[in-house]
Every structure is written in structure tokens, then in C-alpha cells.
């Protein structure tokens, strides 16, 4: 069995078990219509089983799972107003508007600094405001498999968190840097209106951070599960109706499950082409195989992220992008720069201090991204 999943199942504890049970409960309740009598029977029988078998240590964990399965089941069915379909869900959803004034200010700053296709790209990527992405641009982006970069996704939050952490560790100790960068991230997520994938990434980061502090071994898979549980407890209908939620979780799950083995296979590719690794070429071979994170790893990330999400994208959008691995490597590498330069352009645009000068690098980068999009969207 695959190592990561094996570890996850062997080291299962009460928290993980209850989360798993809860998520499954909500999932079953939301995708299947169960008769009320069946619900009644399950609800009445489970506590009985739990009480009777609680002393038995072997099946304590499964019983906990069952209990929380029922809890999740009830949470979905007793929760008020379940929307009929995704459309109704999206109509009823309200955006979080805590610091919308700041967001508007930055958005105006970007308008001030850059012109239409460039400013709309940065508005979408930095501020999560997709209103300026026209229908045609949106089509080109989905055809090239890059539509996820114009919404603030978990990847954005992760990259931003790493940038902040790196900058802060230059001045203060790691311990404080983690806390401060997490605080800034939370603030940022609230500013951009708390889109679901960003919340997911934020909760995961928080879980990993807490694990680090209390000295528990941190597992990303577990953090993902906790994030899912927290969000489903808050609003159980997202598991069925929020497309962003589904894509975001499946993408991360795909990366966690498939990336390691894929990467291991890809690392062997260069060895096939270098016949005689003992001579001068050995240097290249060792570089390509022993360097931990190479272009092949990026390829592995994009493919494994698509592995679980592509059935969904075909189902919802009728799109399957063949060029996605290539375009993602070409564009995802620039993401840290995009975020930094986008913020610089927005801030200096809002202050109206030489906006065009500070937006010049941002303009160059967005020209590059639009060029990639136009080349691959034939």
C-alpha cells in the first residue's frame, strides 16, 4: 500500500476518526435521499451500540466514526434551507465584506496603474475580483487549463504564506514569523472576501502551525481533513453544491496521493537518455536526479492535481485541457513574482505615487502570461 495513506490509516486517532465519520455522514446525506424511518432507526441504534461496545478497545475507533457519521447525517438533514442546485446555492451565497473599502482602494490603484487586460489579471489574481475577466479571456484561460490561477486559490495562499514567512525570518525568529505571517494571511483572506479555496488553505496552514507548536507530527493529509470538517460543520451544503470546494479539495488530495510516486517515475526519465552515466555526463544525470525539486516535480504536481479533478471539470464545464501541464509549468513558476509585483502595483497605484513606474515589471509579467495564454489557446 502507498506509504502516505498507509501511515494515515495506521496512526488513526480519535480526532481523525471522528472527522472522517462526520465528513462521510454529510456526504452520504447530501448525495443520497434516505428515508426518514431509516434515519430514525440509525439514530436510535447507534448510541446503544456505542454504550454496549465502548469497553472494547479494538472497535472503539470504528464506533466513534459511526457516531460522528450519524452526527454529520443529522447536521445536513436538520440544517435549514438546503438549495435545490448549484445555481441556487451561488445566488444565495453572500460574500464576506469586512474590509471591502481597502479592497476597493487597491482595485482602483490597479486600474490607475495598468490598462484593461493587465489590470483585470492582477485584480483577479491578487484581489480575487474576477468581474473584469471578459468572457473571451475566461474561455481562453479554461482552454489552456489556467482558469484556476485567476481565482485566489489555495496555491496563492500557500505561495503568499511562504513569501511572508521568508521575509519575516530575515528579521525575527521562526516561531514569531509563523504566527505573524498567519495573522497577515487571515487578514488578507478577509480582505479579498473569503473565497472557499482560500479559507481551505488558511485552515490547513493553521492546523499545520498548531501541530508544529504542540509538537505533534504534522500530516498535510490530516490538516486537509480538519479543514474540510471545520468548513462542513459551518455550512454542510458546500460538499454538494460548491464547485470551488470540491475542486480545491480533490486537487490537494490528488497532489498528496499521486505526487510522490509520479515524481519518482519522472526522476528516472533523464537516466534513460543518458547512456553512459560514468563519464562527464554523470554530472548532468546526478543533477537531474538528485536535485530534490526540479521541473519534473512541477510536472508531477500539475498532473497529480488534475488526476482527481478532471472528471469534475468535464462534468461541470465540458472542458479537458491537454496543454494544462505545460501551461501550468510556464505560468505557475511566475506566481510568487505575480503576487509581489501585483501588490506593489496596487499599493503605489492607490497612493498615486509614480504608479506607471512601479507597475512596469507587473506589466511585463502579465504580458508574458497573456502571451502564453494566446499561444496555447488555439
Partner 1 sequence: MIKILTKNQKRILITFCVVAILFTVLAFASTPSRALEVHFLDVGQGDSIFVQTPHRTQLLIDGGSGSQVLEKVGSRMPFYDRNLDFVILTHIDKDHAGGLIDILDKFQVGAVLVSTQVVAETQDTDLAQEFFAKIEESGVRLVRVEAGDRFWIDEDIYFDILWPSKDVPSGLSDNEKSLVLKLVYKDDSFLLTGDMEKFAEYSLATNNIDLGADVLKVGHHGSNSSSAKYFLDKVQAKIAVIQVGKNSYGHPHDVVLERLQNTGMQILRNDLNGIISMYTYGNSF
Would you say 39 or 132 has its CB closer to partner 1?
A: 132
Task: Give the integer Cα–Cα distance in Å for 164 and 258.
Answer: 28
CB of 19 to partner 1, least distance (A): 45
CB 132, min distance to partner 1, A: 9
Indicate the burial class of 153 (C-beta count within 10 angstroms; 0-12, 13-18, 19 or more): buried
Of 134 and 291, nearer to partner 1 (C-beta) is: 134
Q: Which lies closer to partner 1 via its Cβ, residue 36 or residue 170? A: 170
Residues 231 and 245 sit within 8 Å (Cβ to Cβ): yes
User: Least Å distance between CB 351 and partner 1?
Assistant: 17
Nearer to partner 1, 295 or 356 (CB): 356
- Nearest approach, Cβ of residue 24 and partner 1 (Å): 48
CB of 348 to partner 1, least distance (A): 13
Nearest distance, CB of residue 150 and partner 1, angstroms: 16
Residue (306 or 366) nearer to partner 1, CB: 366
Least distance (Å) from partner 1 to the CB of residue 103? 20
Measured from the CB atom, the residue of 46 and 112 that comes closer to partner 1 is 112
Per-residue HEC secondary structure of the chain comes to CCHHHHHHHHCCCHHHHHHHHHHHHHHHHHHCCCCHHHHHHHHHHHHHHHHHHCCCCCCHHHHHHHHHHHHHHHHHHHCCCCCCCHHHHHHHCCCCCCCHHHHHHHHHHHHHHCCHHHHHHHHHHHHCCHHHCCHHHHHHHHHCCCHHHHCCCHHHHHHHHHHHHHHHHCCCCHHHHHHHHHHHHHHHHHHCCCCHHHHHHHHHHHHHHHHHHCCCCCCHHHHHHHHHHHHHHHCCCHHHHCHHHHHHHHHHHHHHHHHHHHHHHHHHHHHHHCCCCCCCCHHHHHHHHHCCCCHHHHHHHHHHHHHHHHHHHHHHHCCCCCCHHHHHHHHHCCHHHHHHHHHHHHHHHHHCCCHHHHHHHHHHHHHHHHHHHHHHCC
C-beta closer to partner 1: residue 51 or 364 = 364
Name the minimum Å distance from CB 334 to partner 1. Answer: 13
In sequence order, the 6+-apart residues with CB closer than 8 A to the CB of 63 are 49, 50, 53, 54
Least distance between partner 1 and beta carbon 61 (Å):
52
Would you say 43 or 115 has its CB closer to partner 1?
115
Quick one: 313 or 377, whose CB is closer to partner 1? Answer: 377
- Applying CB under 8 A, the residues found at the interface with partner 1 are 111, 114-118, 134, 356-357, 360-361, 363-364, 367
Amino acid at each position: 500500500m502507498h506509504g502516505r495513506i498507509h501511515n494515515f490509516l495506521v496512526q488513526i486517532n480519535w480526532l481523525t476518526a471522528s472527522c472522517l465519520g462526520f465528513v462521510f455522514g454529510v456526504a452520504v446525506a447530501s448525495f443520497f435521499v434516505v428515508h426518514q424511518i431509516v434515519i430514525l432507526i440509525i439514530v436510535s441504534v447507534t448510541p446503544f451500540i456505542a454504550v454496549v461496545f465502548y469497553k472494547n478497545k479494538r472497535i472503539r475507533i470504528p464506533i466513534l466514526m459511526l457516531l460522528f457519521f450519524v452526527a454529520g447525517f443529522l447536521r445536513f438533514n436538520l440544517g435549514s434551507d438546503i438549495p435545490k442546485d448549484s445555481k441556487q446555492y451561488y445566488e444565495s451565497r453572500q460574500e464576506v465584506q469586512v474590509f471591502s473599502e481597502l479592497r476597493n482602494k487597491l482595485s482602483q490603484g490597479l486600474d490607475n496603474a495598468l490598462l484593461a487586460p493587465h489590470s483585470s489579471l492582477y485584480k483577479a489574481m491578487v484581489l480575487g475580483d474576477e468581474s473584469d475577466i471578459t468572457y473571451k479571456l475566461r474561455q481562453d484561460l479554461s482552454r489552456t487549463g489556467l482558469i484556476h490561477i485567476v481565482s485566489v486559490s489555495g496555491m496563492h495562499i500557500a505561495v503568499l504564506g511562504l513569501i511572508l514567512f521568508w521575509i519575516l525570518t530575515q528579521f525575527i525568529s521562526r516561531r514569531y514569523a509563523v504566527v505573524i505571517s498567519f495573522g497577515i494571511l487571515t487578514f488578507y483572506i478577509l480582505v479579498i472576501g473569503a473565497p472557499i479555496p482560500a479559507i481551505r488553505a488558511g485552515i490547513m496552514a493553521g492546523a499545520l502551525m498548531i501541530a508544529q507548536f504542540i509538537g505533534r507530527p504534522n500530516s498535510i493529509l490530516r490538516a486537509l481533513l480538519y479543514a474540510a470538517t471545520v468548513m462542513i460543520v459551518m455550512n454542510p451544503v458546500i460538499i454538494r453544491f460548491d464547485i470551488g470546494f470540491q475542486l480545491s479539495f480533490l486537487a490537494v488530495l490528488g497532489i498528496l496521493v499521486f505526487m510522490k510516486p509520479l515524481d519518482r517515475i519522472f526522476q528516472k526519465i533523464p537516466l534513460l537518455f543518458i547512456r553512459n552515466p560514468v563519464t562527464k555526463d554523470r554530472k548532468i544525470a546526478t543533477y537531474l536526479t538528485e536535485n530534490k525539486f526540479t521541473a519534473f516535480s512541477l510536472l508531477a504536481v500539475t498532473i497529480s492535481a488534475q488526476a482527481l479533478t478532471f472528471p469534475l471539470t468535464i462534468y461541470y464545464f465540458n472542458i479537458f485541457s491537454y496543454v494544462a501541464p505545460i501551461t501550468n509549468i510556464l505560468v505557475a513558476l511566475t506566481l510568487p513574482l505575480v503576487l509581489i509585483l501585483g501588490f506593489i502595483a496596487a499599493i503605489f497605484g492607490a497612493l498615486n505615487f509614480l504608479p506607471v513606474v512601479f507597475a512596469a515589471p507587473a506589466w511585463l509579467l502579465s504580458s508574458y502570461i497573456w502571451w502564453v495564454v494566446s499561444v496555447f489557446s488555439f
